[in-house]
Chains A and B, each alone.
Chain A
Amino acid sequence: MKIVVTVKLVPDPNAEKRIDTSTKRLVRTGVETVLNPYDEYALEAALQLKEKAGGDTTVTVFAMAPESLKETLRKALAMGADDAVLLSDPALEGSDVWATSYAMSHALKKIGFDLLIVGGLSDDGSTGATPGALAEYLQTPLVTNVRKADAEGNSLKLERETDTGYQTVAAPLPCAITTALTFGEPRYASLKGIMGAKKKTIAPLTVGDLGLDREVGVSGSKTALLAANPPAARGKGQVVEAADGATGAKAIFDFLKERKLV
């Protein structure tokens, strides 16, 4: 089974986010770039499947990102992916979900896969639309929010996390899934993994390799970001003067009850 995991490279979620008002993009200078945390869960799912399936199962990581961020992908290889493919091209800059997933889908067709695992969300853009768009372009079924996966011959037995419990779903290969955070905590890269990662390949791809029949980048996008604003500043808290502990506790209880939190 050939598993491909899509990985987005995002500014460190632990760092303070700033938006460049002229480009309306996240400021990346001075902020470390890391693997999108949701995609680490997708990679963990892939590595668990590989460990269970054994044999000739391989895990390839695919990213669309500037060439300068290539080394950030090394962490995915250190965690245990077999190889990586990096699609980089200045022509892709400013692509919206429409254009991004179009370019990505062509690259994924070129790479080929039995199972495509996509993180449920990106920490920076947070559209959550890419997995669906990819599945549509690739004409594969998509099962979202998967917490457990088992390969059974030429199909998958999957458990989907839902609000009320979970569903068991069968899907044929090839197919695409997104992972729930309950799939399992992403593993740490081991020292041996880190040292072995430098010998693994990160194959380059450019737009020219994809044979696209429409534009990508800003001109190939349908949507335009008009403004990116920080969240509204939090208002002043409500201060309640209470005569004693019991009155204070009642005030807190009433406050929570009013909002149906208790």
Chain B
Amino acid sequence: MTIATRRAAPPDAVDFLGIDALLSDEERLIRDTVRGFVRERVLPDVATWFEEGYLPRELGRELGKLGLLGMHLSGYDCPGASAVAYGIACLELEAGDAGVRSFASVQGSLAMYAIYRWGSEEQKREYLPRMARGEAIGCFGLTEPDFGSNPAGMRTFARRDGSDWILNGTKMWITNGSIADVAIVWANSDDGIVGFAVPTNTKGFSASNIHRKISLRASITSELVLQDVRLPESARLPLANGLGGPLACLNEARFGIIWGAMGSARTCYETALEYSKTRVQFDRPIGGFQLTQEKLANMLLELGKGTLLALHLGRKKDEGTLHSSQVSFGKLNNVREALAIAREARTILGANGVTLEYPVIRHMNNLESVLTYEGTSEVHTLVIGAQITGIPAFT
């Protein structure tokens, strides 16, 4: 046995485990590029977007120019990046704001992926290149006012009328709804659950924004109303059949959240660490007090473990061995821990922690949404429970 005698370099205060070294040069370049974009284009204004409750429309085109929309899809002007590369981009975008990451998630993993996976060749050619460039925006309508965790009960109904379809129903909590050019809408029908790519200028389609949110404010959230929306058969996603259609899309988006949550967590930890070194109380930096150090150390533990977990699941996804219950494992753990980190960071910042002068409370409030969207933590807990016992606790 050889004993390593080389003196180990002291670890970085943020990348304490040296996870950087597990990334390829290309992955690091993607990370640096997205991080630079966020630093220059998102961070200077995001607190204002959050305060005023909007996301600038041109940001979509800029994300498209970078190639981040539908980045893990291949063909149709999409770059065909790896799952890990997509995860890294999600992490860096959410280190800016979960609203920006949600925009990219919904566009790429929900709307574009639905067309990519379940759409016809014509639909792919019509929508994907424009969506990749950010020229056309997509949204994803599954959740309804009365059907969140139980989407199978959805009331939106698609009725056949000759060769056409007539859609009626309401979709709720739809990111990008009112700015979308195309809405992926899931509906019950006599043949079970079917999906449609609905051009938002179709007669009978309307979207109104949900106001008075105090989370994900730098993100558009809408209600979609479909009133006798008449669509040709060519608008139906021909390969989607049953609830598996939308759930496959959600699985893609959840994968991005596993990474994104660690972006929020990293920003909160970095902010708290920096603050603790400069904020002086009782004649010394508060970072020198044992209670603060315990908080920082606990935050760092979960940040390191969560990031390693994200990378591990990403590598599995790239080799094709990632099971959907493992995605639940990642989302459940990383969002829960990110929220705990954000709350702990808030206490280190004291009163400054509740203002938008610092990013912490913005991330903390955002994570409250991330905790329940794309599958609540309760549902993810029960997915894992069903997987390990073989007994589903809900149907």
B36 within 8 A of A: yes
Given contacts A30-B9, A188-B66, whether A194 and B26 have CB atoms under 8 Å apart is yes
A111 within 8 A of B: no
CB under 8 Å from chain A, chain B span 1-50? 9, 25-26, 29-30, 32-33, 36-37
Given contacts A30-B9, A191-B79, A192-B79, whether A75 and B29 have CB atoms under 8 Å apart is yes
Question: A191 vs B66: C-alpha distance in the bound complex, in angstroms?
Answer: 6
- The A interface, classified by DSSP as helix, strand, loop or mixed, is helix
Question: A71 vs B28: C-alpha distance in the bound complex, in angstroms?
Answer: 10
Give 1 or 0 for each of B78-115: 1 = CB within 8 Å of chain A CB. 01110001000100000000000000000000000000
B68 within 8 A of A: yes
A70 to chain B: closest residue by CB: B25
B10 to chain A: closest residue by CB: A30
Shortest Cβ gap from B256 to chain A (Å): 15
Q: Which residue, of A71, A75, A188, has the highest number of chain B Cβ atoms within 10 A?
A: A188
Question: Can you identify 28 A-B contacts, CB atoms within 8 angstroms?
Answer: A30-B9, A71-B25, A74-B25, A74-B26, A75-B29, A75-B32, A78-B29, A78-B33, A188-B36, A188-B37, A188-B66, A189-B29, A190-B66, A190-B67, A190-B79, A191-B30, A191-B33, A191-B66, A191-B79, A191-B81, A191-B85, A191-B89, A192-B67, A193-B67, A195-B26, A195-B81, A197-B29, A198-B26
Task: Give chain A residues whose Cβ lies under 8 Å from the Cβ of B79.
Answer: 190-192, 195
Given A188-B36, A191-B30, A195-B26; 13 other pairs, CB 8 A cutoff: A75-B32, A78-B33, A188-B65, A188-B66, A190-B66, A191-B67, A191-B68, A191-B79, A191-B81, A191-B85, A194-B30, A194-B33, A198-B26
Shortest Cβ gap from B221 to chain A (Å): 27
Question: A192 vs B30: C-alpha distance in the bound complex, in angstroms?
Answer: 10
A190 to chain B: closest residue by CB: B67
Shortest Cβ gap from A69 to chain B (Å): 11
B71 within 8 A of A: yes
B36 to chain A: closest residue by CB: A188
Shortest Cβ gap from A181 to chain B (Å): 15
CB under 8 Å from chain B, chain A span 178-200? 188-195, 197-198
CB under 8 Å from chain B, chain A span 8-30? 30
Q: Which residue, of A71, A74, A78, A189, has the highest number of chain B Cβ atoms within 10 A?
A: A189
Question: A242 vs B321: C-alpha distance in the bound complex, in angstroms?
Answer: 71
A187 to chain B: closest residue by CB: B65
Instruction: Please report the total number of A residues contacting B with Cβ < 8 Å.
Output: 15
Question: A189 vs B65: C-alpha distance in the bound complex, in angstroms?
Answer: 9
Task: Give chain A residues whose Cβ lies under 8 Å from the Cβ of B25.
Answer: 71, 74
Question: A74 vs B30: C-alpha distance in the bound complex, in angstroms?
Answer: 11
Question: A193 vs B71: C-alpha distance in the bound complex, in angstroms?
Answer: 12
- B33 to A188, Cβ gap below 8 A? yes
B62 to chain A: closest residue by CB: A188
B71 to chain A: closest residue by CB: A191
Question: A85 vs B25: C-alpha distance in the bound complex, in angstroms?
Answer: 18
A191 to chain B: closest residue by CB: B67
Question: A190 vs B68: C-alpha distance in the bound complex, in angstroms?
Answer: 8
Question: A197 vs B85: C-alpha distance in the bound complex, in angstroms?
Answer: 15
Question: A195 vs B79: C-alpha distance in the bound complex, in angstroms?
Answer: 8
Question: A100 vs B29: C-alpha distance in the bound complex, in angstroms?
Answer: 28
Give 1 or 0 for each of A65-82: 1 = CB within 8 Å of chain B CB. 000000100110010000
B32 to chain A: closest residue by CB: A75
In the A-B complex, the 9 residue pairs with the closest CB atoms: A191-B67, A190-B67, A191-B79, A71-B25, A192-B79, A189-B33, A192-B67, A194-B29, A191-B71
Task: Give chain A residues whose Cβ lies under 8 Å from the Cβ of B85.
Answer: 191
